[in-house]
Chains A and B, each alone.
Chain A
C-alpha cells in the first residue's frame, strides 16, 4: 500500500508526459512553440553541466541571502523584544517590506548596487524576501512562552537576561525553525525573481538561463531549465523539512 502510494505521483507524471509527447507528434506543433518531452530531455542532457552550474549559482545566492536575513531578522527581533513600543514602531515597516513585490523594488536596488555588481543586488533582494517570515516568527516566538512559566520566573525573581536566555529564546525555537523554513523557500523565489529583474546583463543563474534560451527561441532549453529549477526547489524544501523535524525532535526530546 505504501509503495503504491509513493508510485502514484510518478505514474501520473509519466502519463502526462506521454500525453504531451503523443500530442506533439500527432499535431506537428512547431518545436520552438512546444517541444515534446523527448526534446526537452535531450536539451537537459546536453546542457546539464551549464544548468547545474547555474542552479548552484542561484542556490548559493539564496543560501547567502538566508544567512544574512536570519542574522538581521533575529537581531532586530531581539531588539524589538526589549520594548513593546519598539515593536509597534517596526511592525508596519516590516509589513510594507513584506507586501511590496520584490520585482518592483528590483530596479532601484540594482541601481544602488551599481551596474558592476548585479550579484549584490540579487542577494539583497533575496534577503528582503526571506527577512519577513524569520522576523515575524522570532517576534511571535519570543512572546510565546507559557504565561505560567513567566509567572514562575516572576516568583523566583529572574533577571531580564535570565528571562530572555532561559525562557523566551528557548520558547521561540519552534517558531524560529518554521520561520527559517518559510524564509529559505522564499529566498530561492526571491533570488530567481531578482535575476529576472537584473535581466541579461547579470548573474548567470537559472533565471538567466531561462531568459537567454527564451531570447534565442530555444524552448526546449527553457523547459529544461525550468525542470532543473523545480527539482532544485523540491529537494531544497525536503531538506528544510528534514532540518525542521530534526530541530523539533531535539527541542522536544522526542
Chain B
C-alpha cells in the first residue's frame, strides 16, 4: 500500500534552473525511507512535494493521507517562542478546531512520549537544542500522522543527542508505525534509521541507487558495530560518490 508517491517529478525555480528530477519515489505504509544526497540536490524539495506544500513543475504527486495526517519536522525546532512547550505541541490540534482543554491533554501526552513530561510549561528559549527538537517531534506526533516527514531533523544537534533522538524516533515509530521519510546527509544515520536508503545525485537530484536495510527497528544495541551495518554504510557511500558527490 502506497502512502505517498512521486512519479517522474521535476521542479524548477524560475531562472535558477532545475532543482530536482526527474525523480520517482514510492513510500509504503509503515516504511522508513531515508533520502541521502549532497547539499543542493533537492532532498528538501522532494520532502515539500511529499508534504503537499509545493507542486512540481512537471510529473505527478500522489498523497494518500488527508488533511492533518501528514506531519513535518524541520532542521530547526521551529517552535513559536511566545508559546509554552504544551501550547506549541497543541498547535496543530487547535488549528484543526479542537477545544483548547482537549488539545492540551493530548499535547501533554505527546510531550510525555518524547520524554518531556514536566517541561510542559517551559518556553522554547528555556530548552536545550535537543529538548526543543523533542517538542517539535511531539508537535508532529500529536495528530497521530500516517506520514511523518523529517527534514534533516538532527543536523543542528551534537552526536550524542542525535543518536539518542534517532533511537527515540524508532521507538515512537514502533508504537504507531507511520510511514517516515527523512532527509539527511549523514550516511550512518540513514543506514541506522531507515529500512530503505534512497541515494540521490547532485542537483538536480535523481536516484543514484537504493539500499535496503534488513533487521528490526528499534535497532538492537551495538547495531552500529555489526559487519552488516559497516558494509551498508560503505555501499551507500559508494553510491554517493558514483553519483558524483565528492
Contact = CB atoms under 8 A, between A and B. Distances in A.
Interface in A130-146: 146
Interface in A143-185: 146, 148-149, 151-158, 162, 166-167, 170-171, 173
B175 interface: no
Contact of A153 (B48, B95, B123, B126): B95
Interface stretch (B12-20, B65-73, B218-226): B65-73
Contact of A251 (B51, B71, B81, B84): B81
Contacts of B125: 252-254
B80 A149 contact: yes
A81 B122 CA distance: 31
Interface in A209-254: 251-254
A156 B95 contact: yes
Contacts, number: 61
Given A253-B126, A254-B125, A254-B126, A151 B82 contact: no
10 contacts: A148-B74, A151-B48, A151-B72, A151-B74, A152-B78, A156-B67, A171-B80, A252-B82, A253-B122, A254-B125
Interface of A: 146, 148-149, 151-158, 162, 166-167, 170-171, 173, 251-254
Contacts of A252: 81-82, 123, 125
A153 B84 CA distance: 18
A48 B209 CA distance: 85
B37 interface: no
Instruction: Provide the main secondary structure of the chain B interface.
Output: loop
Interface in B85-131: 91-92, 94-96, 122-126
B78 A149 contact: yes
Contact of A158 (B51, B53, B76, B95): B95
Nearest to A162: B95
Contacts of A151: 48, 51, 53, 72, 74
A41 B246 CA distance: 76
Contacts of A173: 82
Contact of B68 (A156, A167, A254): A156
A151 B123 CA distance: 21
Contacts of A166: 91, 94-95
7 shortest A-B CB distances, which residue pairs?
Answer: A253-B123, A148-B78, A156-B95, A148-B74, A170-B82, A156-B92, A158-B95
A225 B67 CA distance: 66
Most buried by B among A146, A149, A155: A155
Given A154-B53, A252-B125, A167 B92 contact: no
A130 to B, nearest CB: 25
Contacts of B83: 170
B72 A155 contact: yes
Contacts of B53: 151, 154-155
Interface string B30-54: 0000000000000000001001110
A162 B68 CA distance: 16
A162 B97 CA distance: 10
Nearest to B70: A155
Contacts of A156: 67-68, 91-92, 95-96
Given A252-B125, A253-B123, A254-B125, A157 B78 contact: no
B241 to A, nearest CB: 31
A156 B48 CA distance: 14
Give the one of B81, B125, B126 with max A CB within 10 A.
Answer: B81
